[in-house]
Structure 1
């Protein structure tokens, strides 16, 4: 048995965004014959299997707990201990002598996988490592989670020089530069780069799910009003995450938005379908870190609906932070200010981030 065959990559995956970002890495592992198992924590259920099929992933999937949409704080707290026990059980059951436990990003599933891998004696590999907002409680709870994960990380896969420097100065991990984010590989697979907006029929896309936006009632109501006003300029496609849908219903804002002229409320779309919709938009309003990165790759005008972001992608190019929008979002969009944000897609060339990650895993 070769060393490559003895090493086994265990991807701990809980959320849709995590699956999207590790999918190109999994595909590259499969291409070179590196054994892979996906341990699914069950944090998200909606469209997860669709994504597996969309990316053509063939590796076995092992459920740590039954999948469901954990869209409330209470449901996540109930799920957490069971998910940790399930991930630990799955890692032990694989009985591999050279395990790599790969975790991604800054979710509860990331922390569960990192701790379980560390306790099992595996090499813990953190994909998209070293990102930090510099504020412990913003974004909450993501910043706290990623700082905890850094402490358990043996190999930090960092998408930028800034992230590499952060990890080298503060943590013991072996630091690997991936030359970018794996989202670029996922976007390339989607084919969305070929989509161009129709200037004669412009529309906007909105995607909101961050804790600070949907669990602050006043903020959520302000955002609903903003969507109504933006829809007076051009049609708005509001893509609803499960947690967002529940919060809108709890505050009785869903019926109000359904009745608003020009607003279309859509369930969460498949990955390629969402990217193609976003690629054709005049502008996208989002609080998603992954969306920010995807739209930077595509060069789509973007307003990041957060006070601050740990991701540099698109800033100074196609993206503006909400607070930086001159004269307010409605006036900015109404005056066509977003058109000045569009820029060429990020160029490719050389080894992809996923290829660099897999090459490092073989060491």
Structure 2
């Protein structure tokens, strides 16, 4: 039996790791140990609980107003102390957070093989998203096994000199999590949304929180207010807890009769809300994957994305952060049924619900305990174009 340390600290990591943790717990070949840095506190705990999971180790690094460097330092120190006392056979990290980077560095420093889940995403611009693009590039340099969601992600890694025999294309485990969560929520998680099923209006689900969006949040807020002015439209905004985000957005959306503002919703309730929504407008990385999987046209707030596949497939569109562009794209979808259906019916490029199975199989193969899994292959047209985009590393909106 192999001991596998699963390091997580944020809500997205918990969502995307949850199916993997459950599968490892059920596999007699592995003994998973879930280590939480606590980088996100309340949202992380709520999400793990939704999947019936708890952390075996909690480093509790969360502190008020701490900087990225302080989060990184405290996480790295805690993880190295833990691994020095309780060595593992592998360290699994996910994506591109401070927790991801420190988990990879702690494993590397103690010569524990690092397995990078959701490897190979690239925007091609070091500062966008920040600090995620830098984090994932750094992790790629120390990982022993790279689990790439798409062929385009594989192409990114190969272009950077990563050995092909260390990469497996798995699909994205967020699709597995979404399928598991579908239909499990009894409510939308907030009393303000209790009437949503009986509300005949079309629903635009909106969110913005990334650091590079902060200077543009007033423009985004004005755009959401104008979208909510459209007859027959209701905008729902689960608002991020960060005070910077709240102080910038609330003056524009807080008192609009067509906008419902809530606190961040529990994961199962948020999945239910995505299913109810007609359009998603967001800078969230998860929404760029979940929207296409649910057949929801997804308008990405930004000029660049590390998730080019949905843009290529046509189920997502980069709309920038300027008020006019956001409003124009959203109103087109609300007013033009042909344009809406074109996006809603585009292919989902991110997975077939078997990413967890491939992830566990790839890990077993890494340890010589099973055959290599067959790679995930998306729709041919999406596959070819996403690989070509990855080759040029130019995903910017022109």
TM class by smaller structure: 0.7 to 0.9
Secondary structure (helix, strand or coil) at the match of 2:85 reads helix
CA separation of 1:198 and 1:335: change in aligned 2, threshold 3 A: farther
Q: Does the CA contact (< 8 Å) of 2:298 and 2:316 recur in 1?
A: yes
Pairing partner for 2:357 from 349, 355, 358: 355
CA gap of 1:123–1:19, structure 2 versus 1, over 3 A, is same
State the TM-score, normalized to the length of structure 2.
0.79
> Cα offset for 1:20?
0.6
Match of 1:144 among 118, 128, 134: 134
Q: Which stretch of structure 1 is more off in the superposition, 32-41 or 320-329?
A: 320-329
Q: CA RMSD in A?
A: 2.8
For 1:20 and 1:157, the matched residues in 2 are separated by 16
1:89 match? 81
Deviation for aligned residue 1:237: 0.8
Distance in 1, matches of 2:128 and 2:15, equals: 24
* Contact 1:151–1:171 (Cα < 8 Å) also in 2: no
Q: Secondary structure at the match of 2:254?
A: helix
Checking the alignment, whether the CA contact within 8 Å between 1:299 and 1:342 is kept in structure 2 is yes
Q: Who is 2:240 aligned against?
A: 241
Q: How does 1:136-285 map to 2 (within 5 A)?
A: 136-172=126-162, 174-191=165-182, 200-214=200-214, 216=215, 219-233=216-230, 234-243=233-242, 246-251=243-248, 253-285=249-281
Counterpart of 2:310 in 1: which secondary structure? coil
Gaps of 5+ in 1: none
Cα-to-partner distance string for 1:161-187 (whole Å, 9 max, x where unaligned): 122122234244543323311111001
Question: 2:79 aligned with 1:118, yes or no?
Answer: no
Q: CA deviation at 1:348?
A: 10
Structure 2: runs of 5+ lacking an equivalent: 189-196, 366-398
SS in structure 1 at match of 2:308: coil
Contact 2:204 2:278 in 1 (8 A): yes
Q: Which deviations, in whole Å up to 9, do the C-alpha atoms of 1:334-363 show, x marking residues without a partner? A: 524435421277499988111111111112
Distance 1:276 1:317 in 2: 23
How far apart in 1 are the matches of 2:68 and 2:352?
40
Q: Is the 8 A contact 2:171 2:350 kept in 1?
A: no
Per-residue CA deviations over 1:47-86 (Å, capped at 9, x if unaligned) read 222222211236x521123445x6x5x4433332112100
Structure 1 residues 213, 353: closer, same or farther in 2, change over 3 A?
same
**Partner of 1:290: helix, strand, or coil?**
helix
1:192/1:279 contact within 8 Å kept:
no
